[in-house]
Structure 1
Amino acid sequence: MTTVPATPAARVDPLAPARLGPITLRNRIIKAATFEGLTPKGLVTDKLIEFHRRPAAGGVGMTTVAYCAVAPEGRTAPGQIYWRDEAMPGLRKLTDAVHAEGAAVSAQIGHAGPVAAAKYLGMSALAPSRGFRLTSQNFTTPATTADIARITRAHAEAARRAVEAGFDAVELHFGHNYLISSFLSPRVNKRKDDYGGSLENRARFAREAARAVRDAVGDKIAILAKLNMDDGVPGGFWLDEAIRVARWLEADGSLDALELTAGSSLLNPMYLFKGDAPIREFAAAMPQPTKLGVQLLGKHLLREYPYRDAYLLEDAKQIRAQVAMPLVLLGGVTNKAVMDQAMAEGFEFVAVARALLRDPDMVNKIRADERTRSLCNHCNKCMTAIYGGTHCVLKAA
């Protein structure tokens, strides 16, 4: 029987406090995870703390630290944080700084899998099946069942460490063809065992990881998952399967909310972002051989999609109609009108990324004047800055 969420009886104010699992946020606006590029040694820096303190001071309900890998080989860049003893003091300092501004803080946890910077890490890029990556010019290594079990345990350990470091929530990365998302994708997953073939098998890793995290932390923190609705490639994971996976995750009771996303960092990265595809800037920022891959294949890999506000809403509404659990709307949330629209459509939270890079004070400005609109023009050049410190290239630091 289809579960249909109740129609809200009254207007929901996105600027009012809201419950998210065991925690209460001061409003329904979440700073989405955007890789910061501010941890050159894989440890928290003062710049990373300031990166998250600013939107916290600017009024968001919660900011999300990205990307905290659950294993060393699960990083997309050599300098990314992964969960280990050395990282804990800095992470505690970061959470304290965000809390001092009145906001909550979440850690995005996951394993990059086929998207990992394997060549620069000196490690194998794990994937469901063997495959060739065009941009980095290397093959992925099929994950064994022992790898899957190890990485599932690593998610649980990362969540336990997040509690110790003072985080209010964790966000499990089930999107963009990172490892667990790649298992969901029939385009990438060609396995013949219990983790391949049918959708039930392809979703097994995601469900086991979510259950392991819930069993590890209980209700000490909120647990979200970022779930792809559409890989944006022929033969990939698509909305009809995403609806079924969302319903299974809801039935499992492991999550407090789903954040709905799209696109493949492996095969079609611009499908999520919409707007301009700054190919020249991307190539300039990349080391070899990735630079050459972007120069040769950029027009095919970095396709442009027209931008519009709330561009994931129509797909997300189809999942909203099938599950009752809290959902986070991502994509083109640039002003109060879009936030109100999301609430009217039954979404409990919105996630904002580029608009907050442009103006970390956006939420406070909206509170003061509801006509405020982000000045982000979706040029996407901020994406090319990630390895030297993510920022909006159109404004002074």
Structure 2
Amino acid sequence: MDAYILTLAKFRFKCDIQLVNMALKRSNALQRMEWMQEQLETGAIDIHMPRAHFTRKNTAIGVSNTYEWEPLVLVVPKSDKPNLTNIMLQPFSVEVWSVLVCYLLTKQFVNLVSIMKHHCGRLRAGTLTSRWTGSIAKVATVGVQLTSFLLIEAYLAKITEFLLYCRFRADPQTLEEFFQSDILVVIPEYMDPIVGTFGLVVAANFRTKCVRPEDFSSMPASCCARIHTLPRAEYIIRMAKYFDAELGRKQLYILPEYLKTIPMSYLLGRNFPFKNSFELFILHVYESGLMELYVKAQRNDVAMMERNFYSKGWLTLGDLVPLFMLMAGGSCVSIIAFTLEMFSTRVKRFVGLKY
């Protein structure tokens, strides 16, 4: 977006642009940013892109008017600790597991009663010999076997789904959960004033988890969380170097809870000759709605590229309603067919006796 604005400004003011590469790396980020500030103060560089959040006062650096506000977010490494024990219980909800346990206990009780009948001769005389008993038992057996088969298939399908996408422990989704985890945060010295504006409790928690860049340079890139603006965080998430090919997933994710919304402005050098004209140009660009359309189109493209899989979760009793309806429908059809057969048999017997 900033490169697009720079291209528009180039044609608007009919000037040549010489780009200066800051060559930022993990080991020299702070030094290069201080060097850029010195270049702006001395007038060696006219404008700094992309937009930045600049809070220092009494400097020779000019700050353009703010027309864009961006949220600060945490880019957090995903958990790599397996969660296989919990996965074995996740496919079914507590209600479904309760129903299954009740069914197994009832089945064991019926088996125990059958064994007692077999060993107690006194109970044999009371055994029911009605033809209805055998028919009902067969229908119940078919229903139980069908339900067991579908539940086993559903369990195996859910286990496969969780092993593919949810085999690791759940990642923090709120700041409170993040502070309870053991994940550290990389906070350079120049970000200390911004962290101090997050609130007393949040700032204290960040200072507890703080890791300075010189210590972070000797650590793996995906071991610590980092504070970025949302566009920068989206760019980092899309980078190929943070994709784990062995696990088939990205190593980082954006914490859904925002930290703060900050103004973003272009930093202007001391001797920038088009300061007033550039600010008017930026104002016209934003008032025309061009940048809003550009940002919206870019976000839509990112959303299309970043199609993530979200697991539906465990199997609940509500998901078993179609199965219960199928069983009820099958039982009704069986009863109707059995009733019609009995009725036709009785009619034939009655007609045979009459004639």
Alignment TM class, shorter chain as reference: under 0.3
Tell me which protein shows more helix as a share of its residues: 2
Q: How does the TM-score come out when normalised to structure 1?
A: 0.23
Structure 2 length-normalised TM: 0.25
Q: Which has the larger radius of gyration?
A: 2
Q: Which has the higher contact order (CA 8 A, sep 6+)?
A: 2
